Amino acid sequence: MREYAKFYIGGRWVYPVESRTLEIVNPATEGVCGRVAMGSAADVDEAVAAARSAFPAWSATGVKERIELLQNIQEEYGKRSADLAAALTEEMGAPASLAGGFQVGLGAGHLAKAIEVLGDYAFSEQRGATLVVKEPIGVCGLITPWNWPMNQIAVKVFPALATGCTMVLKPSERSPFTGQIFAEILEAAGVPAGVFNLVQGDGPGVGVPLSAHPGVDMISFTGSTRAGVEIARNAAPTVKRVTQELGGKSPNILLDDEDFAGNVAKGVTSMMGNSGQTCSAPSRMLVPRARMAEAAEAAKDAAAKTTVGDPNGDVVIGPVVAKDQFDKIQGLIQQGIDEGATLVAGGTGRPDGLAKGYYVRPTVFADVTGDMTIAREEIFGPVLTILGYDDVDHAIELANDTEYGLAGYVAGADLEQARAVASRIRAGWVAINEAFDFDCPFGGYKKSGNGREWGEFGFHDYLEIKGVLGYAPDVADVPDSA
């Protein structure tokens, strides 16, 4: 049983102002696996005050000092990787291979990339007589989700540190263990007091006061579109910067070529990973209408290979994170059946042999139309919808027929055709043939949010831009007198 009773504020582990805790349920067993302290507005006040106090000194540090700190974090992160992986499996059900692999590995990858980018980053640029300076924005409120905890903490905390900002992190109350271990890593690495602060809690108790706080200069949020809208409303009176990575219903256009069946299988595998709990998951597979039956058969075979079970064992996917998530997914699967989609694999209920735990059957629907609920609503579970298109123009029309625009995918042997299709998808991240790159900017169009994370682009939102006119008066253009 894990017990986390303190927050990390001002370089010290402190008890919350109010004594309140939350029981954390292991989604594989449905049993309580830990308790975490829950914060309030008073804790946010203390954390923000600590961050504001630390900002002048930290923002004045040079690149060399920040790189050294990030390298210290890198060393400590490596020491605690196994602890992070175990916590991920326990708190949100990620299979051990995924937790110790891609889940923890993403955090390490973003840290290495932040160090690399910082080494060459230009914080000032002279343009004629004017100096353009990029300065740290100030105190940042960082609100992260439960589905990829280390990835989302990494893409916020490391750029904030690299650019000279101070911060308050609120991890999701559904995956608080990793956030707590992460704070221990930063403490061990020697992060100066007040530069990084951790307050655990829920949206009403911590997220709202953090978003509305006049001492916070920026909010970076990843989560649902609904919550993102509320955060923007709460932040509006203080006119702070708000960046958001929100929901998605991402299209995966499979081109009509000899790789088709293999690309169907790859699309299923990608969709089912992390139990489908990925905002950028390729949840809408678009296939030539004439090959719908072939796609359905290939998808059925791939779904059958998606093993489900105890995340401590050798399985592809574990449970979804919580009962309410399980119930939502079950309801949407039933709605797909009721609306007339063809159930190819899976369906409602738990997989055979699993009487306990929030396990969902890997589910595939074929013959889905664009007006069906399962084609429009983010399910956030291992549920794939397959839609048919008449030609490439129709595929692109279907791909863009969504209120979201986080990601898109194109699969096909003809690279030139794939590039042409990718250029017409209205989304912030479009991958051709499952390509991956830590340098690629990640973020959404439309209701999928604003701002970008990852690599060099992840630095931008943490910086203010200042123009210093007359910096070089000997070359300044002097306007004619009026």
Q: Annotated catalytic sites, by residue?
A: 245, 279
What does 445-457 look like in DSSP terms, one character per residue?
EETTEES-BSTTH
Two tokens, residue 482? 């009026």
Cβ 65 vs Cβ 58: under 8 Å: no
What does 102-154 look like in DSSP terms, one character per residue?
IIHHHHHHHHHHHHHHHHH--SEEEETTEEEEEEE--EEEEE--SSSHHHHHH
Residues 6 or more apart whose CB falls under 8 angstroms from that of 275 comprise 93, 317, 318, 319, 320, 360, 381, 382
- In whole angstroms, give the CA distance from residue 232 to residue 234: 5
Helices 81-92 and 63-79, interaxial angle, to 10°? 70
- In whole angstroms, give the CA distance from residue 475 to residue 387: 61
Identify the three-state secondary structure at position 275.
helix
- In whole angstroms, give the CA distance from residue 7 to residue 15: 6
Residue 3's DSSP bridge partners are 35
Handedness of CA 137, 139, 145, 151 (dihedral sign): positive
Handedness of CA 205, 206, 207, 213 (dihedral sign): positive
Query: In this structure, how many other beta carbons lie within 10 angstroms of the beta carbon of residue 323?
Result: 13
Residues 6 or more apart whose CB falls under 8 angstroms from that of 22 comprise 35, 36, 38, 173, 176, 202
Residues 6 or more apart whose CB falls under 8 angstroms from that of 301 comprise 265
DSSP 475: G
Cβ 204 vs Cβ 164: under 8 Å: no
Amino acid at position 157, single letter? V
- In whole angstroms, give the CA distance from residue 359 to residue 427: 31
Two tokens, residue 386? 């397959």
Largest CA distance in the chain: 85
